Chain A
């Protein structure tokens, strides 16, 4: 019987309270060693305490075997203890809890619990295996896949088409990828899409999106990407990636996005 259920009973009607008391008393009877037929609170406050028990520990690791870089979850439940700790750098712990651990090698964790009744310990071992080497890369990753997965969007300020520092960084990386792809695949072309957030008018945003696509393209051309392979298109605010009315969504929509296609 939890404290919450006791409170709930207290606020119930008188009849329910009597019934609850009976239930409560019978529930307590199972735990308490032969109390007299007295009201429940008296039973809880029985003066003669039993001798202190040794701390008891339940301690587990899940899973017990991991690959390097993965984590395991330690869980424990301790009673009759006042001073509890786990070695291997985990330190002092509460009587009940869990902790994620990232051992690099197989490790045994020992939990030590001290209480008035003595000291108990319990250990678990997490075995760390070395992961298998990664599979070879797909025989030929298509240029379209590379562009879609590696070329990053460039983001803009409201009503602006200036290349910000973060966009400069993204586009510099994009230029490397595009130069590599264009060098190995003479068929591929890329469309630079300009997009806007929903706040400006659709008419003005059509022109603003065009300006953003052009700014991104020009930046790439300056870094040596072939301008002939870059086409621009403005979608204004016609193709938003999200439609929430907040700045984080607005920012996600103020972008130059790259899509690949045949030349």
Chain B
């Protein structure tokens, strides 16, 4: 009996050092029950009404896609919708005097929060008067969470802008970051060549950024949103180009004289570039340099393939992909290039790491449990090495990349004959396809520079 206990204890001890797949969500989108958010359609006075379809779609979309709320269905909302605080009439002796908070807090809406307001034209600008009320409060004074005025241009772009600003304020109240104003950069072959494109978080506004008419791939965006780096075959061998996202121009970058140079990521301070290259002869190794390619620093010195370095947002360690143990796996290493340790179990092939802004979780693609080539998206706690599988064999899922909000992921998925870009929440729910034209791959999610 004693021996048995010892063995069990030893087994438990050993198990605690091995990465394990977890059944729980590593990243809770919203602990417990999500608050119910009611967002009735806003109306505009005069010319402002022309842009309200755009406004209402943007506001609803921003709040819904955040994953923070359960959105109340518009079909169950009361017929009388408030447009300003003065529209609320408190009941007298329990008798209704008109619109009241309980219209929204009781079934069928059963909302916790109500966003309401209206737009108007003032001095040639679109003005939004927006309020957020906690409808479970007993009176109006306690109910008001937000009451603010927003300005935008008098067109669809302006309507979208004021909706994005209002949504960002609402999300900030719940400690969340909105996705409005973020950009996804990706590779598309829809012109006949692989080029870099950009789009909004919801797939709108798809725009071509490069026009090199040569294989152009592996985009990376600096955390401050000011620079885009990528790898192109324009001059024959693959080399790194850097573009300014502010001016749209190509910036000078010195490439190492090597058979390959490939951009991997900017550092969290947006001041350095991580890349992999054959600059020292032999096989691909990991390097860091300044934004113009100067001050080269070699980080790995092995005889195996070393690719895809990503520096932790806290600046404390690199995650990267190495073939040192056979098939590619994820490794963690100190910033001095020492103490590399394997993160993944050694099963299958693990590639495409991406740090969550929290500096704790890593999203990556792994063939664990599937044939070579059949990747699924996983996330792992880099400290405990607990991991969770988010996609389950629906095609080939690769290149996960975190949104600035830390709860959304963008990735590419091949279901059928083409690769397309999808987004989802960090618990695997809310999967949504953003692209349809041609093949689209290698998405990265960035902020827009201020």
Contact = CB atoms under 8 A, between A and B. Distances in A.
Interface string A176-220: 000000000000000000000011111110111011011000000
B93 to A, nearest CB: 70
A234 B237 CA distance: 8
B349 interface: yes
Interface stretch (B288-296, B321-329, B335-343): B321-329
A204 B328 contact: yes
A199 B305 contact: no
Please indicate which of the listed interface residues A200, A208, A210 has the most CB atoms of chain B within 10 Å of its own CB.
A210
Given A203-B352, A207-B276, A233 B217 contact: no
Interface string A237-250: 01000000100000
Question: How large, as a class, is the contact surface on chain B?
Answer: 35 or more
A245 to B, nearest CB: 8
A122 B264 CA distance: 79
Contacts of A213: 259
A214 B259 contact: yes
B260 interface: yes
B307 A203 contact: yes
A244 to B, nearest CB: 12
Contacts of A211: 283-284, 305
Contacts of A71: none
Nearest to A159: B327
Interface string B244-275: 00000000000000011010100000000000
A131 to B, nearest CB: 46
Nearest to A207: B284
B260 A203 contact: no
A213 B306 CA distance: 17
Nearest to A236: B238
Contacts of B278: 210
Contacts of A235: 215
Interface string B340-372: 000000000101100000000000010000001
B181 interface: no
B284 A210 contact: yes
A238 B260 CA distance: 14
B85 interface: no
B307 A198 contact: no
Chain A: interface size category: 20 to 34
B322 to A, nearest CB: 9
B378 interface: no
Nearest to A208: B305
A100 to B, nearest CB: 41
A210 B217 contact: no
A158 B373 CA distance: 11
B124 interface: no
Given A159-B323, A201-B351, A233-B236, A206 B328 contact: no
A234 B217 CA distance: 14
Nearest to A158: B372
Interface string A126-155: 000000000000000000000000000000
A199 B373 contact: yes
A139 to B, nearest CB: 32
A200 B215 contact: no
Nearest to A238: B215
Contacts of B323: 159, 204, 208
Given A159-B327, A204-B323, A204-B349, 6 more contacts: A200-B372, A201-B375, A203-B352, A204-B308, A207-B283, A207-B306
17 contacts: A200-B349, A200-B373, A201-B328, A201-B375, A202-B218, A203-B262, A203-B307, A204-B305, A204-B308, A204-B349, A206-B238, A206-B262, A208-B305, A210-B259, A210-B284, A233-B237, A234-B259
Interface of A: 158-159, 198-204, 206-208, 210-211, 213-214, 232-235, 238, 245
- When A and B form their complex, which 9 residue pairs have the shortest distance between CB atoms, in order from nearest? A199-B373, A207-B284, A201-B351, A207-B305, A199-B372, A203-B307, A232-B259, A204-B328, A203-B308
